[in-house]
Amino acid sequence: MTDHIFKFPAPFIQNSKKSKVSIILIEKPDYPHWIKKQNEHLQAQLSQNSFEADPLQLATILNKDGKLEKIIFSLSQPVYYLDTATIVQFIESNYSKEFIESHVFEVISTHEEDISNKIAIGWGFGAYRFDRYKKNDAATPILVWPNKADQKHVTATIEGASLLRNLVNTPPNDLGTDELAEAAKDVAKHHKAKVKIICDDDLLKKNFPMIYNVGKASPRPPQLVDIQWGKSKHPKVTLVGKGIVYDTGGLNLKPGQYMRDMKKDMGGAAHALGTAWMIMALNLPIQLRVLLPIAENSVAGNSYRPGDILPTRKGITVEIEDTDAEGRLVLSDALTYACEEEPDLLIDFATLTGAARVAVGYDIPAFFSNREDYIDDLRHSSVESDDPCWPFPLWDGYDKNLNGNISDIKNEGTGRAGHIEAALFLQRFIDSKTDWIHLDCFAWEQNGKAGRPKGGADTGMRAIVDLIKAKYG
């Protein structure tokens, strides 16, 4: 049933007897020296192409019969992980299916492992398709594995990101709460992890009142997925992901233009699963737990209301100011549950606030941590992995904005710096002994570019894996 969620591009081959097209990757500073060493035929063709090695510039070199022999491609400065997706796009739009299927492509470069990984990851991201609802039988150009690429790392990255994209892209009619939980179960099964699911009324019996209350108006029952993997001797890392499979806003109904893309409100859960996929595929020496509070925020006679005062697992009462601020509510129970086990590191991903998008746009998750070290470490990893993340303060001065009049707290503050107030809300449920990182991410590519088509996209996942690898790997 979840096959389409696990459809990943695999556009690589170890070697092949098929005709090869060489791709020569160059960087602008090296170009004047490089061009002097080439034969006249190649120099002439490059000059006809007005090739000057500007970033992402591409030129084709034909043999004497007029057939494609080489592609010359200039990388960005510094090399960017999606550079080579431009080549995949070029080949697909300029050559026939027959040509692409009868050839393989091979990069010629002297780059070291990290750049070789980017070259391969860009190719893999470029080969991603979401064609469940619109058939596409175009051929995918196949790349001979670059010599120095870490095949395990590259494959895990492409698979983790594609899993995330497939989950977010699947429309809400086909990805309800059961289907998302089923996909999570299959992720666990694939990596031989243990999984438990607490569903519907059992959420009340086991004291997860917020997940239940947010999801109770939908015929698709709320649930909590709990995946456990790894050896108990290793440090414990817990990932939590907001899994609102569709967010109408509830009784505070969203206007149409804001509801349109709300299938992506489970993007946090998709990030947690993509991250977990990478960690398990790389067999990192950590004890992993993944908690996904899953619900549909719907409208019905039994919807939770603005003005309701609801209990939480932690015992804190919350007055509902706005039923569209539901993400922090389902997260509150999951974060409380996570902290009961005292993990070494707790990370949550959530498509949480519009304020984060006002502050840093679509591409950059706003992140928060209760530990200064992690603020520096994640910024560093985000630069290393071309996956920008930007820190914001858990400013204590705003914390009182959440205080309730007749409840402990409210689910919205002043509405100024809403991403900071949302993070402070979550912090109320974090044990102060637990190291915690919160990412308020978009999980979506708004414009679309080579290797990153419009739709579900990773925002912060690769940076987090890099951070975990650096700390525990």
CA trace torsion 75, 80, 85, 91 (10° rounding): 0
Contact 161/274 with Cβ under 8 angstroms?
A: yes
- Of 148, 254, 379, 469, the catalytic one is 254
DSSP H or E segment with residue 227: strand 223-229
Rounded CA separation 306/324 (Å): 9
Residue 370 C-beta: closest distance to Zn ion, Å: 24
Residue 247 C-beta: closest distance to Zn ion, Å: 4
Contact 130/169 with Cβ under 8 angstroms?
A: yes
Span interacting with Zn ion, options 122-130, 188-196, 321-329, 362-370, rule CB under 5 A: 321-329
Taking the chain, what is the end-to-end CA distance rounded to the nearest angstrom?
34
Tell how far CA 35 is from the center of its chain: 40
* Cβ-based nearer residue to Zn ion, 70 or 242: 242
DSSP H or E segment with residue 70: strand 68-74
- Residue 136 sits at φ, ψ, to 5 deg, of -145, 110
Residue 326 C-beta: closest distance to Zn ion, Å: 5
SS3 366: strand
- CA–CA–CA angle 272, 278, 280 (5° rounding): 100
Span interacting with Zn ion, options 9-17, 189-197, 241-249, 358-366, rule CB under 5 A: 241-249
Q: Per-residue x/- marks for Zn ion, 191-230, CB under 5 A?
A: ----------------------------------------
* Cβ-based nearer residue to Zn ion, 156 or 262: 262
Q: Write the burial class of residue 121 (CB in 10 Å: 0-12 exposed, 13-18 middle, 19+ buried).
A: buried
Residue 353 C-beta: closest distance to Zn ion, Å: 9
Interaction between residue 247 and Zn ion (CB under 5 A): yes
Residue 303 C-beta: closest distance to Zn ion, Å: 13
Q: Per-residue x/- marks for Zn ion, 54-83, CB under 5 A?
A: ------------------------------
Based on C-alpha coordinates, what's the Rg of the chain? 24
* Cβ-based nearer residue to Zn ion, 176 or 343: 176
Residue 352 C-beta: closest distance to Zn ion, Å: 9
Interaction between residue 412 and Zn ion (CB under 5 A): no
Residue 400 catalytic?
Answer: no
Contact 440/352 with Cβ under 8 angstroms?
A: yes
Residue 439 C-beta: closest distance to Zn ion, Å: 17
How far is CA 340 from each of CA 232, 237, 311, rounded to the nearest angstrom? 16, 13, 18
* Cβ-based nearer residue to Zn ion, 324 or 445: 324
- Of 118, 216, 289, 328, the catalytic one is 328
* Cβ-based nearer residue to Zn ion, 247 or 458: 247
Span interacting with Zn ion, options 115-123, 316-324, 385-393, 421-429, rule CB under 5 A: 316-324
* Cβ-based nearer residue to Zn ion, 168 or 276: 168
Residue 414 C-beta: closest distance to Zn ion, Å: 18
Beta strand spans in 75-168 (E): 103-108, 143-144
Rounded CA separation 299/301 (Å): 7
Span interacting with Zn ion, options 80-88, 136-144, 317-325, 463-471, rule CB under 5 A: 317-325
Residue 220 catalytic?
Answer: no
Interaction between residue 324 and Zn ion (CB under 5 A): yes
Q: List the one residue out of 40, 426, 71 whose CA is nearest residue 240.
A: 426
Structure token digits, residue 422: 């949302």
| Number of amino acids touching Zn ion (CB under 5 A) | 3
Span interacting with Zn ion, options 40-48, 224-232, 247-255, 412-420, rule CB under 5 A: 247-255
Structure token digits, residue 176: 């309800």
Q: Per-residue x/- marks for Zn ion, 101-140, CB under 5 A?
A: ----------------------------------------
Question: Which single residue brings its beta carbon nearest to Zn ion?
Answer: 324
How far is CA 353 from each of CA 12, 222, 261, 420, rounded to the nearest angstrom? 39, 21, 14, 9
Q: Which residues are catalytic?
A: 254, 328
Please give the residue ranges that form the binding site for Zn ion (CB under 5 A).
247, 324, 326
